[in-house]
Structure 1
Amino acid sequence: MFPWRTPCSPAFKPRFIGPFTLRFHGCHRQGTFLRSHEQAPWCRPALKISEEIAYAPGRREHMNVQQTHGLTIGPLAASGFGATVAGLAPGAITTAQKEIVLEAYRRHHGLLCFEFEGLLSADDLHALTAIFGDNEFAPGLINGIGKKAADGEENISVDDQVAALRDKGRDPYLAFIGNVDPDSLKMTPTDRKFYGEWEWHTDMSYIPVPPTFSLLHARIVPATGGDTGFCSQVLAAAALPDDLRREVSTLRIKHDATYTSSGVLRPGMSAPASPIEAHGHAHPVLRATPSGPALFLGRRTNAYVVGLPLDESEDLLNRLWAHATQEAFQYHHHWRVGQVVAWDNRMMLHMRHPVDETAARFMWRTQTKGEAVRAVTA
């Protein structure tokens, strides 16, 4: 189902087996490749999608590896978007390096994989995150940011909540995601839903101002399983059929806050009777981003198109999701310890593949403060 799973390494090259055939780690796929000046037939020229995007997966050899200011930047192998960055020292990032990283992010449409030889400290990860914006609190720690206030805690200030966390030795900007204890690093009893597939989603899109960037730092990864899929919603918007584009041009989707991407009910939440009654925030279907219009769907569970009868909302959402998650828009990342992947939530969906119940997986996660969601204007 997901043929394009590769490590992020500029040195990793596709092997040509014959006419129009690529093979990666034993997988192969037939296809017609595009020269650098061509566009895929389903690309809308009016959107002026950069030639840096290759619409046939794996075909970006016209993009040279860049070496400058101690950094090596190259395209993600077997992906129509994204880049790798090597050579960065998070504790000593120069102004020039920051600008180079941000330019790479813009040119490669919202997905960067940073290669490091070892694990980062929390300060290093925060410094890396700061390239992309101001650090935002980790979800689930501060009321209103992925966490519903418990009874009697509604009026506790953010400063008091932060102070309480720091008194416990907890970094309020750092999230732990995994099935191990953050201190002992031993596996701990974990909800079985953790091990299943996590649905396509955008981080915290259920709040009025979702975080712009998310970063994941691989601390412990299984030999197999637990890969993270990314799906470009800029490419999906560029390929949106005209009739569907017109249908959604003024519509808004309410993004559900009830469940996590693994299907676990969030603390303080109760299951809604229907998506119409689900708790969450509504955003435009088509969102403006630095790389052009992007579909902004959030997650499928309990989503609702505001103003439509439920059956019509479900039908439209099914059509949108079927289009938005086509393999042509996807990249699936197999992790190595030490890597950090950063992505722009405004233009990217992501998901996680299942993890074996005997395997450990532990990630650190940070995010940046967001901006108001702007609808695409005609």
Structure 2
Amino acid sequence: MARSFDVEPLDATFGAVVRGLEVATLDEPTFRALYDTWLEYALLVFPDQNLTRAQQIAFAKRFGPLEFEMTAISNVRSDGTVRPEKDNDDVIKVLKGNMGWHHDSTYMPVQAKGAVFCAEVVPSVGGRTGFADMRAAYDALDAATKARIEDLSAYHSLHYSQGKLGHEAKKQDGEYNGYGFHNGPVPLRPLVKTHPETGRKSLLAGRHAHNVPGLSQQESDTLLKELVDFACQPPRLYHHQWAPGDAVVWDNRCLMHQATPWDMTQRRIMWHSRIAGDPASEAALAA
């Protein structure tokens, strides 16, 4: 079926801007074509959608069941005041942690499938969201590195990644629910992931990954850093400069992402709806 919308590929190995449709009112044939486009490009950007919260949740649900319907990614409190950066509370620590490259929910029993992310208020400078194509990164590895990592895995933990920033989340301030700081088993995930729908291989690393079994601490740290540094290079990168009303949907199974700094005296209000992974393909390995 011919696409009934315009697809403008980004200047990268992945991603496209989609124009000519309103995502809140898609009929089923158009959505199926859009879903196939998403599998191809992994990141779709929809300018000027201005979704209501209910519309965003409904759109996200078309990609599958949700891990959670919506949360604010914001430095603005519920009363409308700006959260002082100097206070360095749990929310600020999570915002800063998100500036490291990562996949969502690798620290949970089931890794997320993807996410819909929408901009309500954006700062005048900074606050972009970066994405990295882990499919193209795997493809670009030399044969020796592919052979080395083929059967290796790493543990993934939010306690680990936030702990490196001095964030233990022992006390709650009433506004941060501690999502991801669970006391269950630490998930173990392969460094090479096969996409359950496309069959393409990609790297799986990021800031939550640590302690590769069979390697020393130094060897593990070095390998994981080298993989992320290699992956996050042009043409495998795109950083989105947000405008109010923008919506994006990304495939968390094959892209990493990161927040980027902004002047935290300025308001930034983003809305995140997380698409749940299929336990058949996204569950952690048996440790």
* TM-score bin, normalised by smaller chain: 0.7 to 0.9
Given the alignment of the two structures, is residue 286 of structure 1 paired with residue 188 of structure 2, yes or no?
A: no
Partner of 1:227: 128
How far 1:374 moved relative to its partner?
8.1
Given the alignment of the two structures, is residue 213 of structure 1 paired with residue 121 of structure 2, yes or no?
A: no
Given the alignment of the two structures, is residue 85 of structure 1 paired with residue 21 of structure 2, yes or no?
A: no
Partner of 2:32: 99
Distance 1:216 1:266 in 2: 26
Distance 1:248 1:132 in 2: 31
How far 1:101 moved relative to its partner?
0.9
Q: Is the 8 A contact 1:236 1:324 kept in 2?
A: yes
Letter in 2 for 1:72: D
Distance 1:232 1:91 in 2: 27
The number of aligned residues is 261
Partner of 2:46: 114
How far 1:79 moved relative to its partner?
2.4
1:181 to 65, 70, 77: 77
Distance 2:120 2:137 in 1: 32
Distance 2:254 2:14 in 1: 11
Q: Is the 8 A contact 1:209 1:373 kept in 2?
A: yes
Q: Is the 8 A contact 2:121 2:268 kept in 1?
A: yes
Letter in 2 for 1:281: P
**What fraction of aligned residue pairs are identical, expressed as a percent?**
28
Q: Is the 8 A contact 1:257 1:279 kept in 2?
A: no
Partner of 1:73: 7
Secondary structure of 1:305's counterpart equals coil
Distance 1:90 1:301 in 2: 32
Q: Give the TM-score, by structure 2 length.
A: 0.82
Q: Is the 8 A contact 1:199 1:262 kept in 2?
A: no
Q: Is the 8 A contact 1:229 1:333 kept in 2?
A: yes
Given the alignment of the two structures, is residue 127 of structure 1 paired with residue 29 of structure 2, yes or no?
A: no
Partner of 1:344: 251
How far 1:197 moved relative to its partner?
7.6
Equivalence map 1:134-213=2 (5 Å): 134-137=65-68, 173-182=69-78, 184-190=79-85, 191=88, 193=93, 194=95, 198-213=99-114
Secondary structure of 1:355's counterpart equals coil
Q: Give the TM-score, by structure 1 length.
A: 0.63
How far 1:302 moved relative to its partner?
6.2
Question: What root-mean-square deviation, in Å, do the aligned CA atoms of Structure 1 and Structure 2 show?
Answer: 2.7
Given the alignment of the two structures, is residue 242 of structure 1 paired with residue 143 of structure 2, yes or no?
A: yes
Letter in 1 for 2:188: A
How far 1:73 moved relative to its partner?
2.3
Assess, with a 3 A threshold, how the Cα gap between structure 1 residues 294 and 68 changes in structure 2: closer, same or farther.
closer
Distance 1:211 1:240 in 2: 25
Distance 1:68 1:328 in 2: 26
Equivalence map 1:245-256=2 (5 Å): 245-256=146-157
Q: Which blocks of at least 5 consecutive residues in structure 2 are unaligned?
A: 172-183
Assess, with a 3 A threshold, how the Cα gap between structure 1 residues 260 and 100 changes in structure 2: closer, same or farther.
farther
Greater share of helix residues, 1 or 2?
A: 2
1:265 to 167, 186, 190: 167
Q: Which has the higher contact order (CA 8 A, sep 6+)?
A: 2
Partner of 2:179: none
Secondary structure of 1:217's counterpart equals strand
Q: Which blocks of at least 5 consecutive residues in structure 1 are unaligned?
A: 1-66, 138-172, 270-277
Q: Is the 8 A contact 2:84 2:265 kept in 1?
A: no
Q: Is the 8 A contact 2:112 2:275 kept in 1?
A: yes
Letter in 1 for 2:31: K
Partner of 1:11: none
